[in-house]
Structure 1
């Protein structure tokens, strides 16, 4: 049975309009009693806010009224609990539904909520390792003899060198790596600029979109060692695969195995914070921007469709600047 009990402490016009909408949710849309009860709580608070400002029906509600209510929800200035951005967005969605219903039913001539936006949730800054921590991590990778350590070092060096997603890097085939074997010495002989430009990988990102990313000298050295000395012994255990990184059975290395490689290296390096493949991606972007790289270039290297996604890393570097300023400037702290 739908909840048809009257909404208390409201004027007859607002209470009636709300009761009609709740009945619509329960009967026509078939929402559960618990869901209707949640709407009753959210919209009851909204209706009481409207009544406290002198509104007696939905037809007189304006966009400013809805915007003020969003502030009330965030601040709890009506005596109710302050809501988080996500809870405020949920409550505003209920308000929009009610106003759309009122417009469709002829109870209101406009929808004052259509252009009101919920507050954005605070974006959590991505965690990045320091340059020293990355060096410790990579130095700890691939310790020991044999094909597997050489593979592990090449894998982590390439993750950090390219900023690639773990799925992109383990998805590489040998043919996706250009300008390494047999070309490095010749490039070096042609000059330092040529040596720096030698080597790239073709990564396939979301939507199978390809991008070519340069490979730094440390990663080139590690990849060359892996390709010359380690890949063939690993491939001998399998049936032949074009994959660049192989497991001990000669098949393509999985994302889960690559995670394990990273975790083992982080443990050996003594890194106490959580380290994931995405941590290396965040570190790649943060270190490039801190070194003066243009955000549009970093966007292309990361394979982001929009520069707004990449700009989160500029927030990281600005925060680092604030920390350095606070620690170093003689008048930064009172």
Structure 2
């Protein structure tokens, strides 16, 4: 069998010149996936996906291309199942990777880059039981004490207002509004949804002083820092295993503890469902004990 016939039998491209061997290797390892990522990025932006979502999906598909090691057109459902099963991810992470694979292969099939969709029938991991993980109070206090002025403001926006890292990154002076009750902050949440969160006077003054009419945290992503960079800056102030997102859990837990008002807590967090909010709220042990003792007396 000639080399060209062998290539065709294995579904490889014929590449002339000194780079031919490298091109064959890239195809064999699945890196031909990445040649289409630019077009997919444009399609995701056309669908108005958030930059944070696009960035995450690109990372996940690049990782899949690197580790599945199968040319794009030859990937099967079994390949993807084996890859997902090979990692000790949480169910939430497994669901996220599955969603990225389904979005990617739906697009490659729709645009004729693949003839079938191997991700369509991937099994769906079950939902994890709620596991609130608020930042320990000592860790929060230490972060506040050791942070510089910019990062301290990031910490407070997450811990005192419940903002996600992407929402913190995009805070703008124009988002601070004043009414008869005081200040509020217009938060630009997931999926382009906006919510209005009451803003303490001291935080309002800090945001306005730092923003100076623009973004509070200027950077290279549409004029502000990326969500990933904000998360890294804040995460560096917290103990190992404690992330910036745990500050949002701290906010939810403290807000709910005031009046046990799940609906208001849900609205402040910007969740579409109260079921999601329940996963953020850690009910204090003394509250559960008080309830049990009340009916046992």
Provide TM-score, normalisation by structure 2: 0.49
Q: Which has the larger radius of gyration?
A: 1
Provide TM-score, normalisation by structure 1: 0.44
